[in-house]
Structure 1
Amino acid sequence: MFTGSIVALITPMDDKGNVCRASLKKLIDYHVASGTSAMVSVGTTGESATLSHDEHGDVVMMTLELADGRIPVIAGTGANATAEAISLTRRFENSGIVGCLTVTPYYNRPTQEGLFQHFSAIANSTDLPQMLYNVPSRTGCDMLPDTVGRLAKIKNIIGIKEATGNLSRVSQIQERVHDDFIIVSGDDASALDLMQLGGHGVISVTANVAAREMAALCTLARQGNFAEARRLNQRLMPLHHQLFVEPNPIPVKWAAKQLELIATDTLRLPMTPITDDARPVVRQALQHAGLL
């Protein structure tokens, strides 16, 4: 459930900016049918930054309800205040989620010791499995391999989503953690390379619109068939890149609407709709991937 193609699920909204239950069900059904390994509900791609604390919890619980045991659900529980992250985490105890994905505190820019104490406090507050999430390009905070190694000694910290795109991090982390520690990519463009170095999968933005293809890519990598995996990945590579032609999740929401997976591509301010210049770029990437 923490390996393979795990989708960083978008949060569909209606024209008024309210969470759209019908589109969320359609998305979940799509991932179940496509072989997605698990879903992250209300991670950063799920617009956690613009949902209220109550909405955040409600969307995770709605995702669990609509998944109905057919696919594992991981809750995004990160916050830049340790107490808030603990509060979110505790809300999901005994809920049915399989674990939590917790991003490094954004904006605060804590020291490495601060990061260690932050994640230690969260892990010690719960029995839920915890997956660390390092994405310095969004948070302004980079969790270094030595800190990951220290945190890996805590029993319920079971892995990391490493989204620096720096492949040297894989071996640096592997040297410092036990063999069962899970390393997944948070960068679609380099995910196959990470898996070839011994990584376990990807928490994917691309999987929102190419779920079957990303599941197949991870299966091929797990089987050691990297030649075929690379051919598939080359078809997806423009999509990996162009889904970030504007800040995530602007392009992927628009792409999902084009594929009729969601009813609208509504976002909440300060995120704004995709620009006229970006639409043809994303459309061409969808076509190159064979999705349009």
Structure 2
Amino acid sequence: MAGFSAEHERVVERLRDGMVSGVLSFPLTSFTENGDLDPDSYRAYLAAQLATAPGAVFPACGTGEFSALDEDEYRAVVTATVEIADGRLPVVAGVGYGWAQALRFARIAEEAGADALLVLPHYLVEAPESGLVEQLRRIATGTRLPLIAYQRGPVAFTPEGLRAIAAIPTVIGLKDGHSDLDRLQRLTLAAPDGFLFFNGAATAEIQARAYATVGVPAYSSAVHAFAPEIADACFAALRSGDEATVTKLLRDFYVPLVELRDRVPGYAVSLVKAAARLRGLPVGPVRAPLTDPGPTDLAALEHLLDTGLALVGATRRPA
């Protein structure tokens, strides 16, 4: 892509290679029972996650409760991720809020050795597209790291806006969480050659086949955070064209998971963390304003987890 430095080109190529080799991992952040960051548990959990060879790792993003972390905690999470990844796969750290605060986190991520940044939707205010572009431009001027924009919630780009952010030399891609395939197809057609696109729907496997039809096969997987066996089996089936396996996993695991997720706001993270705890993974509870599931929903989640693992021949306790 025109205007990219050699360093940024290497990041793009590593991400592109990772997108076709595995799901994109968005790890949970480990807390103690009283809500403190638990760095040792996070390291143990992340090491197990990365042993399953995801395509890239995105610490301190939505699934990692970015909005609940202070700057020191964020530094600890990103630093640990870079150390454990040890250059084996790209590390893309989340940043967010307004551009001034996003830059504070961006500089921490840069110092920690992250490869790129995922710019999460800004906080609270509605904004015109020109403001969304300026937000990215201001972040880009304050860090050498390449940026991936995340359109979700109040952030949605038109083809004209996509061309404007793609003209920012360090913006390398777009993660989409709106699932508006008509709009997304227009964006992919407006993008320059080499621009990266990611499926960032809440449970991306549900829509992975549809996204692939508009040229966006790469996706993040919340399920990978607690059951990489299921996530990897679905990814492999999608890539090989094994429609029977994809359909069975969607029908018997993913769709019921989404139905359970939709019962309570915030369950997109809370259920993922609860499922990880059911597998003995050291992640702890969620932080307020999120809430952990109650006994009824936890029992339903436990049954669903066992069903999904049985579908792919795995057991409750990870190897």
TM-score w.r.t. length of structure 1: 0.88
Partner residue in 1 for 2:308: 289
Matches within 5 A, 1:1-292: 1-2=14-15, 3=19, 4-79=22-97, 81-93=98-110, 95-136=112-153, 140-187=154-201, 188=204, 189-223=206-240, 225=241, 227=243, 230-231=246-247, 233-234=249-250, 235-237=252-254, 238-246=256-264, 247=266, 248-262=268-282, 264=284, 266-290=285-309, 292=316
Cα displacement (A) at 1:239: 3.0
Secondary structure, aligned partner of 1:41:
coil
| In structure 2, C-alpha distance between the alignment counterparts of 1:54 and 1:273, rounded to whole Å | 24
Distance 2:53 2:247 in 1: 20
C-alpha spacing 1:103/1:272, structure 2 compared with 1 (3 Å): same
| Aligned sequence identity (%) | 24
CA gap of 1:14–1:84, structure 2 versus 1, over 3 A, is same
Residues paired across the two proteins, number = 286
Secondary structure (helix, strand or coil) at the match of 1:254 reads helix
Structure 2 portions without partners, runs of 5+: 1-13, 311-315
Give SS of 1:18's match.
Answer: coil
> Aligned AA for 1:282?
L
Give yes or no for contact 1:243–1:252 (8 Å, CA) kept in 2: no
Structure 1 residues 215 and 129, CA, compared in 2 at 3 Å: closer, same or farther?
A: farther
Distance 1:65 1:37 in 2: 17
CA–CA distance in 2 between the matches of 1:126 and 1:14? 32
In structure 1, how many angstroms separate the alpha carbons of the residues matched to 2:184 and 2:245?
Answer: 20
Deviation at 1:273, TM superposition (A): 1.9
Check conservation: 2:223, 2:230, Cα contact below 8 A.
no
Greater mean alpha carbon deviation, residues 53-62 or residues 232-241: 232-241
Encode CA deviations 1:104-128: one digit per residue, 9 max, x unaligned.
2120111111101001111232221
Name whichever structure is richer in helix by fraction: 2
**Preserved contact between residue 35 and residue 211 of structure 1 (Cα < 8 Å):** no
The structure, 1 or 2, with the larger RCO (C-alpha pairs under 8 Å, 6+ apart) is 1
- C-alpha contact (below 8 Å) 1:242/1:285 kept by paired residues: no
CA contact (8 A) 2:43 2:80 kept: no
Partner SS for 2:45? helix
Show structure 1 runs of 5+ residues with no match. Answer: none
- C-alpha contact 1:106 1:141 (8 A) present in aligned 2: no
Residue aligned with 1:183, SS: strand
Q: CA RMSD in A?
A: 2.3
3-state DSSP class of the match of 1:287? helix
Q: Is the 8 A contact 1:36 1:212 kept in 2?
A: no
> Counterparts of 1:244 and 1:206 in 2: how far apart (Å)?
15
Q: Secondary structure at the match of 2:197?
A: strand
Q: Using a 3 Å threshold, how does the CA distance of structure 1 residues 257 and 124 change in structure 2: closer, same or farther?
A: same
Question: Kindly tell me: are residues 142 and 260 of structure 1, through their superposed partners in 2, closer, same or farther at Cα, counting changes over 3 Å?
Answer: same
Amino acid at match of 2:109: F
- The alpha carbon displacement at 1:233 in A equals 4.2
- Summarize deviations over 1:262-291 as a string: whole Å, max 9, x none: 253x12222222122321332232123126
Q: Counterparts of 1:269 and 1:102 in 2: how far apart (Å)?
A: 22
